[in-house]
């Protein structure tokens, strides 16, 4: 049962996490305060998940019919309990060419795509963030080549995991960064001259791999599990315990019965 649950979890992750991308984020708090960052994300992530992964502290509220509303970013905005406490609000935009477009979809419904730039501006409708292109924020997407990141499918806790990164034609990528992410933490590795890196997996969970400088064309996932307990020998049943003495006693009992029968016949003949 435990193995079944583990592999179901892996399949769910594979179905939701099939491609990693990178997008630009622009958050304008005021006329002079602007936050800019290039953020990696997993396939299927929404703008809500994307901004949370940026490291910014956000306050949100989920409405049953309207979806997720962005109430505050950092110290600017409103609390989740009173999301629209002021006339100003956080406007959500996406970059289309050289223009900011106001998003019709909420942050929970907007699906991130590799090469996106999304922006948030505190103010009234029509106040757009500063203009920053994807190339400015993240570098030229053409420079990010697809790579293969491979690792074992499943290993016990406290194993040493070998991760290998190669180009699509199989050449090892040396001295490249590999990010290992798992529930509760992450590890940053650097490949050696063979394109390999190792780390110790000291807790259960699903470990995934990516490279900040490349686009993975194959997703690497390792399931770290507790070692299977050795099977205990079944105790000898009462029936089995009694079987051996009975098997020993039966010949003796049969011999005694035969002797008694012989003596009875002998006494009868004498009479």
What is the rounded CA–CA span in Å between residue 109 and residue 74?
22
- CB neighbours (10 Å) of residue 265? 10
145-225 sits in which CATH class?
A: mainly beta
pLDDT at position 30 is 82
- CB neighbours (10 Å) of residue 244? 10
Residue with tokens 């990696």: 40
pLDDT at position 88 is 94
What is the rounded CA–CA span in Å between residue 23 and residue 141?
10
pLDDT at position 9 is 47
Q: Is the pTM of this model over 0.75?
A: no
pLDDT at position 187 is 87
Per-10-residue mean pLDDT for the chain, 271 residues long? 49 45 90 86 88 89 89 92 93 95 94 94 92 86 75 92 91 88 83 92 87 70 80 54 50 58 55 54
Residue with tokens 């590799």: 114
Please tell me what DSSP assigns to residue 32.
S
pLDDT at position 209 is 86
Instruction: Indicate where the chain has its CATH 2.60.40.10 domain(s).
Output: 145-225
19-141 sits in which CATH class?
A: mainly beta
């Amino acid at each position: 049962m435990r193995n079944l649950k583990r592999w179901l979890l892996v399949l769910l992750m594979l179905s939701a996490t099939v491609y990693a991308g990178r997008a630009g984020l622009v958050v304008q708090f005021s006329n002079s305060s602007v936050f800019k960052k290039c953020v990696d994300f997993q396939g299927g992530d929404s703008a809500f998940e994307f901004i949370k992964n940026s490291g910014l502290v956000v306050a949100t509220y989920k409405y049953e019919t309207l979806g997720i509303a962005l109430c505050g970013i950092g110290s600017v905005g409103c609390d989740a309990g009173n999301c629209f406490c002021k006339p100003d609000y956080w406007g959500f935009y996406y970059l289309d060419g050289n223009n900011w477009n106001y998003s019709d979809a909420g942050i929970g419904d907007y699906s991130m795509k590799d090469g996106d730039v999304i922006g948030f501006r505190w103010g009234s409708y029509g106040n757009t963030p500063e203009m920053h292109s994807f190339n400015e924020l993240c570098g030229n997407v053409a420079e990010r080549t697809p790579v293969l990141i491979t690792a074992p499918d499943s290993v016990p806790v406290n194993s040493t995991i070998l991760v290998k990164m190669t180009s699509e034609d199989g050449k090892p990528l040396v001295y490249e960064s590999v990010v290992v992410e798992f529930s509760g933490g992450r590890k940053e590795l650097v490949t050696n001259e063979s394109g390999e890196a190792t780390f110790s997996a000291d807790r259960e969970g699903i470990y995934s791999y990516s490279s900040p400088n490349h686009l993975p064309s194959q997703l690497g996932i390792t399931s770290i599990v507790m070692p299977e307990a050795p099977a205990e020998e079944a105790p000898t049943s009462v029936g089995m315990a009694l079987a051996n003495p009975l098997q020993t006693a039966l010949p003796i009992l049969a011999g005694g019965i035969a002797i008694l029968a012989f003596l009875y016949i002998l006494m009868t003949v004498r009479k």
